[in-house]
Structure 1
Amino acid sequence: MNLRNQVLIWIGFFVFLILALWIFRGILLPFVVGAALAYLLNPLVNQLQRWHFNRGWATAVVLLSVVAIIAGIFVMIVPMVAQQVVGLVQRLPGYAADLEAMVRKWAPELNEWLGPERAAQVERTVSDMLGQIVGFAGVVTSEILASGMTLISVIGFAIFTPVVAFYLLLDWDSMVRGLHDLLPRKQRPEILGILRDIDSSMAGVIRGQGGVLVIDAVFYAGALSLVGLNYGLAVGLIAGLLSFIPYVGFGVGFALSMGIATVQFWPNWWMIALVFGLFMGWQFVEGNVLYPKLVGSSININPVWLMFALLAFGALFGFVGLLLAVPLAAIGGVLVRYGIRKYKGSSLYLGSTHGGQGGNPTA
């Protein structure tokens, strides 16, 4: 099979995959979450097997332990978090009005410092920004309520996700062997090399970046609650859980925290500075300790490409698309880098039919 036919086959495969995802997007959520859970837990099951556990028993022990932990967290924390989130959404217009009133109160000082025109421009900018934040919060809340799962959907998700994860974990080794046997023998070593790169990138996404996300959420929620910030638990969880989008989690959490802290603690500058320092300090820790240790260079995705993938897959497939965007972007990055390597080793790039030997440098 020549290169042209191989490229056409792979393009057709990916077009079929995208079309299938779009057609079945309404029922994919438990399968996507179950597959991610199986991929995440497979190393633990393998470890139990090395300790002479039967594969079925190892799968059951690991999965039941994780489900029990998740259920405990849900029962203990989710009602409190939901109460804080609802309270934050309801109170947000009040915080915006309070900040706008503070700006108006400082208007004489701003006039004296900046001049009337610039002071008026600053006041208009702050008012517009606060209005946009409140409007954005309202739109997000209405979208969540409009697209939220019904009780039947929640029950179905809670039942089907562990079942999907269980059977995937149970048959993981046989599925890997089956995929290995289906690979064309001549290209098998090269394809296995690509799959190893994809596995490394996926591990960085699901295990590494997922770990960073959880640590961010725990730190922000705990630290903001300890300093006494109103709705600190909700703001911290929002900041942490949105941190998979580059700069968005930090930006949203920082803006909400500083706005609430200014209204709540004014004129105590020390408390406002403390909230500011928490975000700046943790950004340094995240960028210089957490990401290098937990993620490293395994993902290697440009933030612009990642944000494009999130917006594109979110628009096409909704919430399921947001879950799939980062892993698919990681896979796409591996395939693009492979394609670039092949192109740079080809006669089309080197200008020679001998792998660059004796090529015309001006070609």
Structure 2
Amino acid sequence: MTVFKKYFPIVTYAILLFWGVMYYEVVGNLLSKLFSVLTPLIVGIAIAFVLNLLMKKIEKFVLSSKKLEKLHKKSRAISLLSTYLITLLVITLIIIFIVPQVAASAKTLIDKLPDYAVKLTDWGTDVYEDLNLSNDLTAQLFDNFKEIFVGLSSFTANTFIKVIDVTLGITSSALTTFMGIIFSAYILGQKEKLIRIVSDLNKALAPKKISKYLSELMQMTEKTFSRFVGGQLTEAMILGTLCFIGLILFKIPYAPLVSVLVAVTSLIPVVGAFIGTVPSVLIIAMESPSKALFFVIFIVILQQIEGNLIYPKVVGDAIGISGFWVFLAITVGGGLFGIPGMLLGVPLMAVVYSATSKAVKKRLNHNETASDRFKDS
């Protein structure tokens, strides 16, 4: 009976693994459908995780304030309602003040694209005349441009279908987000109860040592992600604001569009600033190459200030890993899951690195203790 209990889980896992490998397509389809069904819940968990950073601060303020002592029993409801109201206010302010300016910059850029195309054509003509290209090379270039225009025509023909697809996608995303917000409210309102349920399941289903390890791992993951997400969001807002102020002062075109682009891409550690700089330089260069060069100098100085002053104070040691592991996490995460992988890869790598380091240290201490005992005997 003891042997059966010992090897039954191993045999069960081996059979399930074999079945999964043999019918990987069926397993893949099932997982895809399951993920699609659970997407609103996953979105809700993500929203709740981010909003919980603000809610904890509000709840702590209410509970610590003597003036609000009468409201202590209703601190959860007050903090939850305040969190959603503040979030709604921030989104409203963004829609009122930032979105119109970004849209205006984008519209100006689109309106001027024909002029930029004419300038590019004139430049190409001048280069062609200066280089005195052969007829064969000219014919080859003409064929290449012809293929490009055929592709553009095909793209234009399919635009209507793509617009419908995008509209349906936006509608679906809006519905998923709305359902995610509802889930997030339930999660935030009963987070202690949900955590207790997960903890009880962990203790009931896993052996004592594994249960303790998983509990520590979950606490480490929550702590790392909270610090990382909160720090990155704050740092991105500071960087975007400083960038906008600098561009306005130096009269660099497309300031709102470029600032938002820099702020959003800076959410990705290390390489985010470079990802945002490249398209920004191209956009500014179409208006004024000299100002694009000045923007490069400005953004390099701003990144130095951000890297040496802002980032250490705002994010600090939240990641807890060196630049090598950060870059590896971004590369692997981006390669496997795109932008979400680049954003989540760094804190995940930090958790894996920390857990592995602890396991290695524990193993080394165990080996050293065993070696000392062997010497004493």
Q: TM-score, normalised by structure 1?
A: 0.67
- Given that 2:329 and 2:342 are in contact with CA atoms closer than 8 Å, whether structure 1 keeps it comes out as no
Q: Specify the SS of the correspondent of 2:307.
A: helix
Q: Specify the SS of the correspondent of 2:318.
A: coil
Match of 1:68 in 2: 89
Give the alignment of 1:282-297 within 5 angstroms: 282-297=302-317
Match of 1:54 in 2: 75
Q: Which amino acid aligns with 1:66?
A: T
Q: Which amino acid aligns with 2:99?
A: V
Paired positions, count: 318
Match of 1:85 in 2: 106
- Residue from 289, 293, 299 that aligns with 1:279: 299
1:310 and 2:330 correspond: no
1:38 and 2:57 correspond: no
CA RMSD in angstroms, aligned pairs only: 4.7
Q: Percent identity?
A: 18
Q: Which amino acid aligns with 1:203?
A: S
- Residue from 39, 45, 51 that aligns with 1:28: 39
Q: Specify the SS of the correspondent of 1:303.
A: helix
Q: Specify the SS of the correspondent of 2:258.
A: helix
- 1:241 is displaced (CA, Å) by 0.4
- Given that 1:239 and 1:250 are in contact with CA atoms closer than 8 Å, whether structure 2 keeps it comes out as yes
> Which has more radius of gyration?
2
- Given that 1:213 and 1:244 are in contact with CA atoms closer than 8 Å, whether structure 2 keeps it comes out as yes
- Given that 2:48 and 2:185 are in contact with CA atoms closer than 8 Å, whether structure 1 keeps it comes out as no
1:335 and 2:352 correspond: yes
Q: 1:180 to 1:84 in 2, by over 3 A?
A: same
CA distance in 2, matches of 1:289, 1:193: 32
Q: Which one has a larger percent helix, Structure 1 or Structure 2?
A: 2
- Structure 1: where are the runs of 5+ without partners? 112-130, 315-321
Superposed CA offset, 1:221-248 (max 9, x none): 3432443322221122112201233455
1:163 and 2:182 correspond: yes
- Structure 2: where are the runs of 5+ without partners? 18-23, 66-71, 132-147
- Given that 1:95 and 1:260 are in contact with CA atoms closer than 8 Å, whether structure 2 keeps it comes out as no
Superposed CA offset, 1:157-197 (max 9, x none): 55334322221110112222333333334455544433332
- 1:288 is displaced (CA, Å) by 0.7
Superposed CA offset, 1:35-61 (max 9, x none): 333333331343234442431232112
Superposed CA offset, 1:250-295 (max 9, x none): 33443344445445446xx5x5554233201111111112221121
- Residue from 197, 205, 220 that aligns with 2:228: 205
Superposed CA offset, 1:93-129 (max 9, x none): 85577478669979999x9xxxxxxxxxxxxxxxxxx
